[in-house]
Amino acid sequence: MKIKALFLTVIFALATPFSYAAEKVVEDPKYDGIEIVVNVNQASAQEIADLLNGIGLKKAQAIVEYRNQQGPFEKIEDLAKVNGIGERTVAKNVARIQL
């Protein structure tokens, strides 16, 4: 019985740090009371990619290029005019986007 308890203790001790780390990676910061906002008229492509959901670096670079060619975005919905950015992507990030 002591061996079984020791074995379970070792397994638990080894598994706990990994499960805790995995939870931290998946966790969304907005649930910790941190408000994520990015000004798409001023942010770099890397900042946009890091802070908006569903926007990788390539799409973020397209946002910056569009902004440089067309001028600053006047409405949040105008982001959907960028090639590769759809209305759904804009809708799920509307609370994070600042102009």
Its domain, for residue 62, covers: 38-98
Q: Which residues of 1-25 are buried (b: 16+ CB within 10 A; e: fewer)?
A: eeeeeeeeeeeeeeeeeeeeeeeee
Q: Are residues 60 and 14 in the same domain?
A: no
Q: Are residues 93 and 67 in the same domain?
A: yes
Query: Could you report the per-residue pLDDT of 72-90, keeping only the tens digit for each?
Result: 999 999 999 999 999 999 9
Q: Are residues 93 and 46 in the same domain?
A: yes
How many domains does the chain contain in total?
Answer: 2
Query: Could you report the per-residue pLDDT of 2-46, keeping only the tens digit for each?
Result: 666 555 555 555 554 443 333 333 345 544 566 789 999 999 999
Q: Are residues 72 and 91 in the same domain?
A: yes
pTM of full prediction above 0.75? no
Q: Are residues 42 and 28 in the same domain?
A: no
Q: Are residues 83 and 47 in the same domain?
A: yes
